[in-house]
Chains A and B, each alone.
Chain A
Amino acid sequence: MPQGGNYDGDGKHMKKVMMGTEAAALAAKLARVQVVSAYPITPQTVIVENLSDIIGRSELKARYITVESEHSAMACCVGASLAGARAFTASSSHGLAYMHEMLHYAAGARVPVVMVNCNRGVGPPWNLYCDHTDSLAQRDTGWTQYYCADAQDVLDAILIAYNVAEQALLPVMINMDAFYLTHTSELVDMPDQHLVDDFLPPYKPSNKLDVDDPKTFGNVCGADLFASVKYRRHCDVLSLEKVWDRTATDFCERFNRLHPTVEAFQTEDADVCVTGIGTAGGAIRLAVDRLREEGLKVGGLRLAMMRPFPRERFKEAIANVRHLIVIDRDVSFGAEGIVAQELKAVLFDRREDLKLTGFIAGVGGKDLAVETIVSLVKQAILGDGTAVEAGSSFWTDVLP
């Protein structure tokens, strides 16, 4: 539970020091989720532990189901959502992988479930620390994927996510880095419940499991209609970007905090831009400042959303950039870093004039320090560094 806190004076809201996972639990409470399914996996466990106490003490009117696996955790959420309730769960790494089938199902069933995923390495060998392969490997399922910068971002994004999900009828995954976010304490603004209620009304779907309006959900579909169903879902995921922007703008007007899908630092006049997702954004910003001090016209970019990919925003942000450096805390084995791969696809029409260097760094919890980022940028620009080439990517911190 949050350790300490102080009122900011006007009696309207309170700030508390808390970990990212505590912020997530608080967000679920503020969002008035109605069904929580819980299966433990490090480092998300704090979320479900907190929620069990919150619900146990009747601070939140919800049903809490301690399921026997992550696959069932998502199954319970899907069921609850189809019955018309707001559902929540959290997972990580292998748990996320285990529920892979159900991720496809939830997106196909068009249920507005919000799940927190704590990005953690996938084994074997087991690894408990920050790595983005787990969620990026799920990018084809149709879930919206948002990557948080800090604990405030976690709290706010969950609230925005429910609003967006219930408008679009699509599930949303809020990702946060293992231990850097899950277990790091920060000062977080706790929005007032009634302000949140105003922003996020109760979930009242018109299409649900209802004995007064019976339908069958999800039966066998022939070749005649399958493409159409998928096509519509694809279009709806693409449109979700605009829904997110609109909703995030509304959130900003109420709570005075921005949550853009692309966060750019000093890219307008940059030749070189270094980009990544998650908490690395903070180090990237500092690295950009450091490099600028050394006279290099470097900009930085944190991608908050990977699905739907914010193409126009992103392309606009790097319009003048000539060299894009991508830091992946993940890999698609046999290919390259997944973010690099995604960006290459988006930037295909700029392949003549834009160079892209991909690094695999900070995997399995290896710290992405400011110094590391600075040296990677220099290696990319000047060709001199310790990262090892393998295919199209350069790997740091590997044994010779």
Chain B
Amino acid sequence: MDSKKEVKSLSDLPIMPSTIGTMAWNQTGDWRYLTPVVADKLAPCAQNCPAGVPVTDLVNALRNERVQSGSTMLLAHNPLPGLTSRLCYHPCQSKCVRRKIDRAISIQQIERFFADTGMNVTVEKNSKTDKKVAVIGSGPLGLSCAFYLGCWGCQVVVVDPRDHAGGALVDLSPEKVDPQLLVDEIRRLVNLADIKLETGFAVDFDKPGEAVSEADLVILDSTGLPEDFSAPGGVVPLSPFDDETTDSRIIAAKLPPNLKPFKAPMIAHYVGAGRLMARKAFDGLVMSSEQPGIAASNRHVSRKMVNVEDIKIERFSSPDTAGRENAKPGIWDLERARHEAENCLSCGTCNLCLQCVSSCPDATIRLDEDETAVTVDLDHCKGCGICAYECPRGVITMETVST
């Protein structure tokens, strides 16, 4: 910000009545009684995803052809996208605001695009610590839990009594899920997280075996197990979705009975539960408040939810009907996937459309130098509220902020 060039003598002024500097020294921010707050909010689709995938961020990454970073983002919430993109009932799509214009964005197809073509990533992992974890059960919950613990630095072994990994997924018909896909997906997960998988390993708690006895923590994926299952020393059941913690060495991940608004758990629930379980376990083991490596970004998913009323449908250009009549599942190339992504209204999530920047009478809401976000110049913003009104996706709200 320019400092005011002071005038102390006649020689400081030009002979003609012309100016010597700008008005930037004038802090018109003092005029303000409401302040624009730029904050991404959870879109209706993301609000409805049991795995907590930040759908709009993912779609925006695709819109900008940042496939690698989109894949990383996806894996940060869901390490089995190849499966979810074929099995999930996509509750995200049933809340998509775009339905009010023409039809919902094919979010599941986009996820499948990332899963099938965008997975040549290596995820950022912490180096292995000395903490050992045994996960019993290789269903989506167990695998997901094992994946995150492995990425965060635990030495993890997943054991399963059955010959094939996958838990209940193994029992699905080949039409529902190709067995080879299941194998590939699990192998990829195991490789990415650098964890061990031992199938055909029935855990007998009297003779637990190395993997379990040496573990600092044993996590039991109790999906599919009888209610009265027990182990010596006690198995403490823990719901992944609440704040409860425990000191017990053996814990069982258990989904709560009420998953409103959903009637029954879906694969996405298990995947999400596995991640949340891993976080509790990791916090208990390592006692660290720093969330390292992958999934760092979702540590505090404290975004508010966007009001659907704040999405200004009428502001979007007329429906882009070309190519959108049929969103047939199948293999989408980057072009097709990006085209779909471009139609996303990005509810609650800033996609740098820059309507706010363009409509500010004071040029005080601006694109950052690194062009990743817009910020408000609080020294000059007069709080007129145009940016908040003009944002078609509810990212900006006018609030009383104490300075």
Contact = CB atoms under 8 A, between A and B. Distances in A.
A110 B18 CA distance: 10
Nearest to B21: A215
5 contacts: A108-B17, A109-B16, A215-B18, A215-B20, A232-B13
B19 interface: yes
A217 B16 contact: yes
A109 B17 contact: yes
A169 B16 contact: yes
Contacts of A111: 16
Contact of B17 (A218, A231, A236): A218
B211 to A, nearest CB: 75
Interface in B3-25: 7, 10, 13-20
A58 interface: no
Contact of B18 (A216, A225, A228, A236): A216
A207 interface: yes
Contacts of B13: 225, 228-229, 232
A232 B16 contact: no
B372 to A, nearest CB: 31
Given A217-B16, A229-B13, A232-B10, 16 more contacts: A109-B16, A110-B15, A110-B17, A207-B14, A215-B18, A215-B19, A217-B19, A219-B19, A221-B17, A225-B7, A225-B13, A228-B10, A228-B13, A231-B10, A232-B13, A236-B15
B19 A110 contact: no
A307 B114 CA distance: 84
A207 B16 contact: yes
Given A225-B7, A228-B10, A232-B10, A216 B19 contact: yes
A82 to B, nearest CB: 8
A218 B16 CA distance: 8
Interface in A268-309: none
Interface string A82-120: 000000000000000000000000001111000000000
A226 to B, nearest CB: 10
Contacts of B7: 225
A209 B14 CA distance: 14
Contacts of B14: 207, 215
A307 B20 CA distance: 31
A221 B18 CA distance: 11
Interface string A162-174: 0000000100000
Interface string A206-249: 01000000011111010001001101100010000000000000
A236 B14 CA distance: 13
A215 B15 CA distance: 13
A109 B10 CA distance: 16
Contacts of A207: 14-16, 18
Interface residues of B, number: 10
Nearest to A235: B10
Contacts of B16: 109-111, 169, 207, 217
Contacts of B15: 110, 169, 207, 232, 236
Contacts of A225: 7, 13
A219 B14 CA distance: 14
Contacts of B20: 215
A110 B17 CA distance: 8
B18 A217 contact: yes
B20 to A, nearest CB: 8
A225 B13 CA distance: 10
A111 B19 CA distance: 16
Question: When A and B form their complex, which 7 residue pairs have the shortest distance between CB atoms, in order from nearest?
Answer: A215-B18, A110-B16, A216-B19, A217-B18, A215-B19, A207-B16, A218-B17
B129 to A, nearest CB: 61
Contacts of A169: 15-16
Nearest to A168: B15
A111 B18 CA distance: 12
A27 to B, nearest CB: 26
Interface in B94-126: none
Nearest to A209: B18
B181 to A, nearest CB: 64
B18 to A, nearest CB: 4
A356 B18 CA distance: 44
A225 B14 CA distance: 12
B14 to A, nearest CB: 6
Contacts of A228: 10, 13
B17 A229 contact: yes
A207 B17 CA distance: 10
A271 to B, nearest CB: 45
Contacts of B18: 207, 215-218
B11 to A, nearest CB: 10
Contacts of B19: 215-217, 219
B347 to A, nearest CB: 42
Nearest to B11: A232
Contacts of A231: 10
Nearest to A82: B16
B358 to A, nearest CB: 23
A79 to B, nearest CB: 14
A215 B5 CA distance: 14
Contacts of B17: 108-110, 217-218, 221, 229
Nearest to A224: B7
B16 to A, nearest CB: 4
Nearest to A111: B16
A170 to B, nearest CB: 10
Nearest to A208: B16
Nearest to A219: B19
A110 B10 CA distance: 15
Contacts of A216: 18-19
Contacts of A110: 15-17
A189 B33 CA distance: 74
A104 to B, nearest CB: 12
Contacts of A108: 17
A228 B7 CA distance: 11
A219 to B, nearest CB: 7
Nearest to B20: A215
Nearest to A170: B15
A169 to B, nearest CB: 5
Centre residue among B10, B15, B18 by max chain A CB count within 10 A: B18
Contacts of B10: 228, 231-232
B141 to A, nearest CB: 65
Interface in A169-184: 169
A229 B205 CA distance: 96
Nearest to A214: B19
A232 B9 CA distance: 11
A357 B18 CA distance: 46
A232 B13 CA distance: 10
A219 B19 CA distance: 8
A169 B14 CA distance: 11
A140 B20 CA distance: 28
Nearest to B16: A110
Contacts of A221: 17
